[in-house]
Each structure stands twice: as structure tokens, then as C-alpha cells.
Amino acid sequence: MERIFNFNAGPATMPLVVLEEAQSELLNFRGTGMSVMENSHRTKEYEAINSEAEALVKELLGVPENYRVLFLQGGASTQFAAVPMNLVSADSHADYILTGAWAEKAQKEASKFIKTNIAASTKEENYTRIPRTDEIKVSKGPAYVHLCSNNTIFGTQWQSFPDLGDVSLVGDMSSDIMSRRFDVSKFGLIYAGAQKNLGPAGVTVVIIRKDLLEGIPTNIPSMLRYDIHAKNDSLYNTPPSFSVYMVNLVLRWLKNNGGLVAAEKRNAEKAVLIYNTIDNSQGYYRGHALKDSRSLMNITFRLPSEDLEKKFAVEATQQGMIGLKGHRSVGGLRASIYNAMSLEGALALVDFMKVFQSKNG
């Protein structure tokens, strides 16, 4: 069966070799006579997957020794609540930087439990850009400053992370983790749902500085407590074992293909091809994000009319490119080109864009 080019925002395309590998050991996982899904999570086979995945996250991202890597459930949305519950004491508060719908959701959820301060927001500009460092007004003594590294819906991305002195950042990296290198030590905590760059849905990676595991308030439910999950090496309860297994295969694939240095290069190459097509279209294609805030993961753009946008998505689908319809809050088109999107996929889209313009321009 032929595979299509999948530009979905998430769950998203996965590397073919990873899917094939999973397929090859689906019925008999490494001589156990059963699939990994059927295996107990209390076996040495599963523990090996769990610890290899953890080690690969550390190795690929260069996670310092004083951090833990956890595999949790409930998606990034659960972290919107878990982060403030765990990290903010009754007499404290946290700052949020609003750069899109997901950052807003994180702040709204946190504000159910704690006091939040908006340190910066580009909402009035329809989230077309990331705030400059001089626009970020950190309050006095927040427990952390929360940001969303890549705004999946609006197609903007922090090009570098701000230095805010002693204050730790907390990052929602759901849609760009493992796409590029960055300095983990700027963050007290990082979280990411797996279903874009890491594997299938069902598991969320949390990277937390060890000192933040101390002093978590006692009245937090066990399943939301980072200290309990850390103490149990992410095996406090039944983990999403198949998802963790797939994440492990994806991380191996990344490592075997040059790690983040090479991923960064491939991602830039794909994104530049598409952005150049937008920029060289004499205004036919209009990018949503301002140039200095453009995401290398989600490329959002408009056409001259909504009818043409619909036609574009329909005809692209007929040519084997799916998932290009933009999110309803931005409109237009969105091409999600995570790590596993091939250069061939980006080239096919660019060719299609040029032909579409020449026929409908």
C-alpha cells in the first residue's frame, strides 16, 4: 500500500522505518512470544525499554545530571494543571507568556489553582509573533515563567529562549521537542505530548530539575505528583507501554540519523523550501507568522480567498498530501512538517503550491 504525505498537526506522521520495525516485532516482541502490548510492565523487557527511552531523551537533548525524565499520561493538557499544582506553593504565584491558544489554555488551567500573572502577550496582534525579551515583564518572585516553545496553531516559534535571571522557565514543547538543540538548564521543567515529534499519543515526556521534586504540597493526587513518578521511575502504575516503546524506537531513529544536529538541519531545509515558495509568490501566499517568529514545524499561510483555500486543500488531498487545512482560529492552510516529514514531502508540497498558483493565480 502506498503511503501518503501526512501534514497533520498531531497525531502526526511517523518515520516509516520505525513503523516497519514495530510491525516486524508486533507478534513476537524480542523472543517473548507476545507483543509488547501484552507484556507485563514489571518485566525486564519492559524495564529495558523504559530505561533506554529515558537515556535517549537525556543523550539527545543533553539533559544535565540534575534532571529527571518521566513518562506520564494525560497529554500535555494534564500538565497544564500538574505544573502549577506541584511547583507553586500557597503563598506564591507563576508568570505566563501568551503566544497562542495552547499557552492561553495553560494559563487558564493554572489560574484555577494559583495566582497567575501575564508577563507578555501578543494576542492583540493575533499571535503573529513571539514577544521580544524587552517586552517580557516578569513579576516579583514567580515560581516559574511558563512559555510555549512552538505555537502549533499560529505557526510561531521561539527562536531562542529568554534569559530571565534566576527565574526558571517552564516550557510546553509539545510541538517542537527533539527538533533542535537548546539549553535545557534554562528550564525548571519541560513537558511535551508525544504525538508530534516523539511517537504516538498516550505518553507525555516531562523533564524536571531534581530540586523541584522536593516540597511538593501534600494534597496533590498521587497520579499528578512528579515526586511519586520519579521515585518509581515512571512505573508507579501501568504505563502506556506501547507508546513508550514507540517513542523509544523514534528516539533510536533520531540518534541513528545524526541526532539533533542533523534533525535541525533537515528541519530548516524543509521549512526554507516552503517559506521561500510563500515569499516568492508575489503575495499569492501570505504567511501568518512574522518572519522573525516563523516556526520550522508548523507553517501557516493564507491564499487570496477562502474558496481558493478550500480548493487547495481538496486538490492537495487528491494528490496524496493530507492534513493541510489550517486550524479554524487562524484559517487558511497549515503544513506541519515535524521531524518525520521527509524532504520529499516538503518538495511535493512546494511543487503543488507552484502549480496551484499558476493555474489559479
What is the binding site for ligand PMP (CB under 6 A)? 10, 75-77, 102, 148, 152, 172, 174-175, 193
What minimum distance in Å lies between the beta carbon of 102 and ligand PMP?
A: 4
Is 238 within any annotated ligand binding site? yes
What minimum distance in Å lies between the beta carbon of 195 and ligand PMP?
A: 6
CA distance 250 to 17: 9
Is 129 within any annotated ligand binding site? no
Is 219 within any annotated ligand binding site? no
DSSP output for 33-93? SS-GGGS-TTSHHHHHHHHHHHHHHHHHHT--TTEEEEEESSHHHHHHHHHHHHH--TT-E
Q: Which is nearer to ligand PMP, 148 or 333 (CB)?
A: 148
CA distance 162 to 184: 12
CA distance 57 to 177: 10
Q: Which is nearer to ligand PMP, 169 or 353 (CB)?
A: 169
Q: Which is nearer to ligand PMP, 51 or 77 (CB)?
A: 77
Give the sheet arrangement for strand 286-287, strand by strand.
286-287, 298-302, 333-336
Q: Which is nearer to ligand PMP, 86 or 149 (CB)?
A: 149
What minimum distance in Å lies between the beta carbon of 61 and ligand PMP?
A: 17
Q: Which of 102, 176, 270, 325 is catalytic?
A: 102
Q: Which of 95, 158, 176, 196 is catalytic?
A: 196
Q: How far apart are the two ends of the chain, measured CA to CA in Å?
A: 35
Is 32 within any annotated ligand binding site? no
CA distance 62 to 48: 21
What minimum distance in Å lies between the beta carbon of 101 and ligand PMP?
A: 8
Q: Is 102 a catalytic residue?
A: yes
Q: Which of 172, 176, 270, 325 is catalytic?
A: 172
Buried-state track 225-256, b at ≥16 Cβ within 10 A, e below 16: bbbbbbeebbbbeebbbbbbbbbbbbbbbbee
Q: Which residue is nearest to ligand PMP (CB)?
A: 75
Is 172 within any annotated ligand binding site? yes
Question: Which residues sit in the known binding site for L-glutamate?
Answer: 42
Task: Supply the residues annotated as catalytic.
Answer: 102, 172, 196
